[in-house]
């Protein structure tokens, strides 16, 4: 995700900002930039690519007198990675500079109004509207603090924000809503950062801003107020610095032992980000910016061909069930490395849908190219903005999951399922899906972050199960319908993280061979939420029990009957059947994570694997 660092004090600011950005590099980014204030006004430098490139570009800048500035590493969400889209962004006059993490949901309408009022835009980003909004408000109010506050009253979305202005060169304004921001408090210097690791070398004393708070930071003072005005005007917030106890490595991982653990715990936020601004609950509809202009073309689609690799392929298999059941669109899913070499027969109104976190997977990219060659319309569900697949497909939807650092995909998989659900709503409501059903799905989607939080609270119980099974020689994973693909997903994780051979099966297939493996030393993980295929799953569980195979069962809260067959039961809250994998995968990620941790494996970098498979 993007990173922010800002400094005000007595020292030369550029080296401090560059150092802060280098400390944020682990978060992943595609471009970087700084903006500083000197006696001659505001100056900025932005580059596409690495912070080292920014550092080179800043050589000989003559800004040694600058002691205030803000800087940013960008992970593209709106607008491709480029110098023009890199932060900080500025207003028409180049006075006000803004570094922003988050998403401005209503940026298109705000941008339109600002352009009508005469503002000129230089980037494709949602962030730039903030600079122009603040500029517009500065003309109505007497200071930057109030201008930022008023500007934000027009904004819907998430932000962690740092703002400087050449007209008030003695302060940084910071504000937060749903995107973390802290103030670093030092002697005769203060800082703003999205992440403690950016500033820990300068101070360990920090103030955590809460949602809907705004701060004014000078070299030797700070004040925090509520963003909104209460009945008696603005509300002052009393904030005391807290001392950070973690070391630097722990801070990068936000206190988690591994990035994978951190990314699992980010899932509620990732769901919110993937949905943000895209669900119109009262109309039971999804509004997906990247495909909105292709509505008519998509209405004519007669078959969806999904292609992907690994975990992304599993997401495609879940999407197949969603699209067929709720959108009524025939769907097929293919492993990209096979798809590219067989001779797929394309129909006139086929849509090729490529799913990829990195957007760089060689086989998936080749499948897209092959389909395009044959004149098939292509669409992407991709996390990395500006990646090859996002550029090569005709149109697409971004996941908004933020960078995934752990090699094993977790939060990106969840976001792939969220986007698939949104796409199902999009296509379904164009076809036969009723308003009532559309609303139902939309409402259930909104509940998911809270349901996942409930699951995350069970970590200790799941860890105890992990300890029991960590030395098992192999495992079978079973599920049906929406959760048959999930059995495949957890099998990938058993293999790549725990180095435990795992056989995944749609449970009905078990009797056609694999049941012969079952004995007292061969455990089975049975994914059996209470849904339309629960009774069938229960029969499979009974069959395994009859052969004394140990069972870990996953089922719905309140269903106690599986405890008579299973040695261990994991419970998840109830949701719509089609959304069950989104909740069910979370404890399974924790289970495989903890087994791998107990085995002492290099969790974030499993042996022999790479995060981005850019070769065949
Ligand atoms: C497994 C995993 C991989 C990826 C696969 C596709 O945990 O991460 O199976 O899902 O390599 O990668 P992307 O989604 O980048 O195309």
Q: DSSP readout, 112-152?
A: HHHHHTT----SS-STHHHHHHHHHHHTTSSSHHHHHHHHH
Q: Examine the residue annotation and report whether 470 is marked as an active-site residue of this protein.
A: no
Q: Which of 436, 455, 474 is the last residue of a domain?
A: 455
**Do residues 527 and 318 lie in contact, with contact meaning Cβ atoms separated by under 8 Å?**
no
Q: What is the mean pLDDT of residues 285-303?
A: 95
Q: In angstroms, what is the span from residue 181 Cα to ligand 1's centroid? A: 31
Is 125 found in the same domain as 167? yes
Q: In angstroms, what is the span from residue 492 Cα to ligand 1's centroid? A: 10
Measured between alpha carbons, how far is 503 from 106 in angstroms, rounded to an integer? 46
| Residue having the nearest C-alpha atom to atom 7 of ligand 1 | 408
Of residues 446, 536, 545, 611, which has the active-site annotation? Answer: 611
Measured between alpha carbons, how far is 322 from 410 in angstroms, rounded to an integer? 20
Q: Which of 455, 470, 503 is the last residue of a domain?
A: 455
| Residue having the nearest C-alpha atom to atom 11 of ligand 1 | 310
Q: Which of 455, 487, 515 is the last residue of a domain?
A: 455
Q: Which of 173, 194, 83 is nearest to 130 (CA)?
A: 173
pLDDT in tens, 93-143: 999 999 999 989 899 999 999 999 999 999 999 999 999 999 999 989 889
Find the residues whose C-beta lies inside 6 A of ligand 1: 309-312, 356-358, 361, 364, 408-409, 492, 496, 612-613
pLDDT confidence band for 1 (50 / 70 / 90): low
Measured between alpha carbons, how far is 46 from 37 in angstroms, rounded to an integer? 15
Q: Which domain holds residue 142?
A: 3-244
Measured between alpha carbons, how far is 91 from 81 in angstroms, rounded to an integer? 20
| Residue having the nearest C-alpha atom to atom 5 of ligand 1 | 310
**How deeply is 543 buried, as exposed, middle or buried, from its count of CB atoms within 10 A (0-12, 13-18, 19+)?**
middle
485: domain CATH number is 3.40.50.10490
**How deeply is 464 buried, as exposed, middle or buried, from its count of CB atoms within 10 A (0-12, 13-18, 19+)?**
exposed
Query: What is residue 20's predicted lDDT score, i.e. its pLDDT?
Result: 96
16: domain CATH number is 3.60.20.10
Q: Residue 245 pLDDT more than 80?
A: no
Q: Residue 504 pLDDT more than 80?
A: yes
Q: Residue 39 pLDDT more than 80?
A: yes
**Domain count of the chain?**
3
Return phi, psi of residue 72, to 5°.
-155, 140
Query: What is residue 393's predicted lDDT score, i.e. its pLDDT?
Result: 97
Is 12 found in the same domain as 148? yes
Is 95 found in the same domain as 65? yes
| Residue having the nearest C-alpha atom to atom 9 of ligand 1 | 310
pLDDT in tens, 564-590: 999 999 999 999 999 999 999 999 999
Query: What is residue 76's predicted lDDT score, i.e. its pLDDT?
Result: 87
Q: How many CA atoms lie within 13 A of 220 on its CB side?
A: 2
Give the nearest ligand 1 atom to 364 CA: 16
Is 513 found in the same domain as 411? no
Written as six digits, the tokens of 8 are 């005000």
Q: Residue 616 pLDDT more than 70?
A: no
Measured between alpha carbons, how far is 33 from 69 in angstroms, rounded to an integer? 11
Is 186 found in the same domain as 262? no
Written as six digits, the tokens of 375 are 């004149």
Give the nearest ligand 1 atom to 357 CA: 14
Contacts of 274 (CB under 8 A, 6+ apart): 399, 400, 401, 415, 418, 419, 422
pTM for this model (two decimals): 0.83
Q: In angstroms, what is the span from residue 163 Cα to ligand 1's centroid? A: 37
Share of the chain above pLDDT 70, in %: 99
Is 477 found in the same domain as 414? no
Query: What is residue 561's predicted lDDT score, i.e. its pLDDT?
Result: 97
Strand 68-74 with 242-243, pairing: unpaired
pLDDT in tens, 43-71: 999 999 999 999 999 999 889 999 999 99
Strand extents, DSSP E, 29-67? 31-38, 41-48
Q: What is the mean pLDDT of residues 442-465?
A: 98
Task: Count CB neighbours of 394 within 10 A.
Answer: 17
Query: What is residue 286's predicted lDDT score, i.e. its pLDDT?
Result: 97
**Do residues 349 and 301 lie in contact, with contact meaning Cβ atoms separated by under 8 Å?**
yes
Is 502 found in the same domain as 438? no
What H or E segment, with its residue span, contains residue 597? Answer: helix 580-598
Is 166 found in the same domain as 20? yes
Q: Examine the residue annotation and report whether 611 is marked as an active-site residue of this protein.
A: yes
Is 431 found in the same domain as 314? yes
Is 302 found in the same domain as 226? no
Is 438 found in the same domain as 313? yes
Measured between alpha carbons, how far is 559 from 541 in angstroms, rounded to an integer? 14
Is 404 found in the same domain as 267? yes
The chain-wide mean pLDDT, for the chain, equals: 94
């Amino acid at each position: 995700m993007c990173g922010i660092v800002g400094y005000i004090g007595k020292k030369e600011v550029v080296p401090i900002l560059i150092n802060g950005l280098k400390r944020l590099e682990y978060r992943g980014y595609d471009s970087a930039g700084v903006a500083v204030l000197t006696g001659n006004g505001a100056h900025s430098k932005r580059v596409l690519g690495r912070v080292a490139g920014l550092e080179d570009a800043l050589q000989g800048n003559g800004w040694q007198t600058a002691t205030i500035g803000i800087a940013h590493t960008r992970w593209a969400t709106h607008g491709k990675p480029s110098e023009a889209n890199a932060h900080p962004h500025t207003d028409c006059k180049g006075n006000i500079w803004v570094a922003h993490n988050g998403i401005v949901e209503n940026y298109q309408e705000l941008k339109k109004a600002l352009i009508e009022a005469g503002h000129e835009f230089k980037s494709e980003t949602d962030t730039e509207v903030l600079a122009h909004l603040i500029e517009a408000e500065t003309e109505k109010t007497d200071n930057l603090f109030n201008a930022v506050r008023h500007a934000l009253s027009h904004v819907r979305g998430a932000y962690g924000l740092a703002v400087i202005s050449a007209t008030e060169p003695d302060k940084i304004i910071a504000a937060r809503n749903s995107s973390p921001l802290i103030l670093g408090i030092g002697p005769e210097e203060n800082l703003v950062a999205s992440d403690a690791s950016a500033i820990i070398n300068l101070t360990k004393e920090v103030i955590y801003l809460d949602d809907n708070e705004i701060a004014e930071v000078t070299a030797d003072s700070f004040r925090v107020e509520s963003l909104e005005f209460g009945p008696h005007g603005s509300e002052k917030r009393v904030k005391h610095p807290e001392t950070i106890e973690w070391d630097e490595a722990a801070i990068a991982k936000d206190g988690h032992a591994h990035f994978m653990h951190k990314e699992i715990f980010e899932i509620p936020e990732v769901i919110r980000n993937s949905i943000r601004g895209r669900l119109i609950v009262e109309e039971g509809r999804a509004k997906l910016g990247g495909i909105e202009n292709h509505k008519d073309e998509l209405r004519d689609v007669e078959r969806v061909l999904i292609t992907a690799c690994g975990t992304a392929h599993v997401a495609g298999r879940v999407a197949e069930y969603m699209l067929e059941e709720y959108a009524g669109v025939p769907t097929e899913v293919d492993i990209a490395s096979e798809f590219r070499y067989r001779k797929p027969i394309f129909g006139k109104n086929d849509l090729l849908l490529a799913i990829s976190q990195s957007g760089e997977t060689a086989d998936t990219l080749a499948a897209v190219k092959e389909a395009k060659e044959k004149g098939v319309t292509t669409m992407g569900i991709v996390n990395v903005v500006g990646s090859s697949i996002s550029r090569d497909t005709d149109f697409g939807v971004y996941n908004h999951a933020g960078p995934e650092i752990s090699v094993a995909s977790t939060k990106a998989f969840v976001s792939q399922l969220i986007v698939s659900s949104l796409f199902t709503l999009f296509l379904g409501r164009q076809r036969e899906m009723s308003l009532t059903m559309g609303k139902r799905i939309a409402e259930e989607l909104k509940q998911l972050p809270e349901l996942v939080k409930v699951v995350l609270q069970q970590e200790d119980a799941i860890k105890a199960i992990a300890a029991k099974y960590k030395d098992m020689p192999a495992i079978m994973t079973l599920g049906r319908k929406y959760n048959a693909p999930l059995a495949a997903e957890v099998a990938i994780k058993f293999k790549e993280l725990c180095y435990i051979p795992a056989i995944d099966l749609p449970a009905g297939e078990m009797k056609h061979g694999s049941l012969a493996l079952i004995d007292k030393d061969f455990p089975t993980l049975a994914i059996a939420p209470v849904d339309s295929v629960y009774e069938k799953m229960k029969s499979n569980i009974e069959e395994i029990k009859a052969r004394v195979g140990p069972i870990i069962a996953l089922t719905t809260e309140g269903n106690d009957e599986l405890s008579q067959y299973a040695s261990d039961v994991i419970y998840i809250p109830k949701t719509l059947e089609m959304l069950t994998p989104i909740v069910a995968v979370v404890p399974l990620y924790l289970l495989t994570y903890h087994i791998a941790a107990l085995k002492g494996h290099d969790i974030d970098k499993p042996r022999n694997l790479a995060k981005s498979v850019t070769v065949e």
